[in-house]
Amino acid sequence: MESARKLILLVEDNEKIVFGNKQMFEWEGYDATAAQSLGSARAVMAEHRPDAIVLDIMLPDGSGLDFIRELRESEYSDTPILLLTGLTTNEDVVRGLRAGGDDYLTKPYDFPVLQARVEALLRRAERVPEGITKGCLHLDIASGAASVNGIDLAVTKKDFYLLLLFIQNEGQFFTAEYLYERVWNAPMGGNNQALKSAVSRLNKKIAGSSWRISWSRGEGYTFEEE
């Protein structure tokens, strides 16, 4: 853990959940503060800038989705937000991600999963360079271009985002459903052909870079060195 403790804002009206999550984050070396309404969250954020927000959707004074849209139009446009909610349908997930949420976790949940997801968001938030390089593979964040040995790969916007997601989470496994929802902003349903095609295209384009996207039964997709 870094010496500068990260501040997690928990926006949740269930006192038991607030107490448990706040205590667990603090035990794990974070600073944590809680707000049980959107009004309280705004007051907290007027005094302290959180490094990440764990946000319920259904709150006593409004919708968490509207709050996300508000934040994305403010100085908090890049603050990682994880939606922690009892709304569990694919449509709910899509609405949450399209509103500007970075990740979505449904109740009930295990705290280690919540912690791991928040930590992943914090790592991504710290990685805001103009470009990312893995050997001879380079991604230009601003332009959305990818190249190998300086040769442009002519990737589509979705393929670039998919490759960026993998590179930023090297060695981590993702399910097909998760990747599809993150990149295509819609539930995958029973057809994962679009994802398979994208992975196949990317692997062909980055051939020779010493990196590839691989799939493992029971674990999912990951980005690894050949």
CATH assignment of the domain containing 185: 1.10.10.10
Domain enclosing residue 106, as ranges: 7-126
- CB-based contact 45:70 (threshold 8 Å): no
Q: What is the pLDDT of residue 58?
A: 93
Q: Do 173 and 212 lie in a common domain?
A: yes
- In this structure, are strands 7-11 and 31-35 parallel, antiparallel, or unpaired? parallel
* Residue range 19-45, pLDDT digits in tens: 999 999 999 889 999 999 999 999 999
Q: What is the pLDDT of residue 127?
A: 57
Q: Do 79 and 33 lie in a common domain?
A: yes
Domain boundary at 126, 149, 165, which?
126
> Domain total for the chain?
2
Q: Do 155 and 113 lie in a common domain?
A: no
Q: What is the pTM of this model?
A: 0.56
DSSP labels for 7-57? EEEEE-S-HHHHHHHHHHHHHTT-EEEEESSHHHHHHHHHH---SEEEE-S
CATH number at residue 11: 3.40.50.2300
Buried b (16+ CB within 10 A) or exposed e, 89-120: eeebbbbbbebbbbbbbeeeeeeeebbebbeb
- CB-based contact 134:211 (threshold 8 Å): yes
Q: Do 120 and 137 lie in a common domain?
A: no
pLDDT higher than threshold 90 for residue 2: no
In a domain, 2, yes or no: no
Q: Do 140 and 188 lie in a common domain?
A: yes
Q: Do 74 and 183 lie in a common domain?
A: no
pLDDT band (50, 70, 90) for residue 119 = very high
Percent of the chain residues past pLDDT 70, beyond the cut: 96
Domain boundary at 109, 126, 143, which?
126
Q: Do 77 and 32 lie in a common domain?
A: yes
Q: Do 107 and 140 lie in a common domain?
A: no
- CB-based contact 67:49 (threshold 8 Å): no
Domain boundary at 91, 126, 161, which?
126
In a domain, 1, yes or no: no
**CA-CA distance, 53 to 32, in Å (whole number)?**
10
Q: What is the pLDDT of residue 182?
A: 74
Q: Do 98 and 140 lie in a common domain?
A: no
Per-chain mean pLDDT for the chain: 88
pLDDT band (50, 70, 90) for residue 161 = confident
Q: What is the pLDDT of residue 118?
A: 93
Of the two residues 130 and 12, the one the predictor is more confident about is 12
Q: Do 18 and 104 lie in a common domain?
A: yes
Among 10-19, 114-123, 140-149, 185-194, name the one with the lowest average pLDDT: 185-194
Q: What is the pLDDT of residue 3?
A: 41
Q: Do 82 and 142 lie in a common domain?
A: no
Q: Do 21 and 40 lie in a common domain?
A: yes
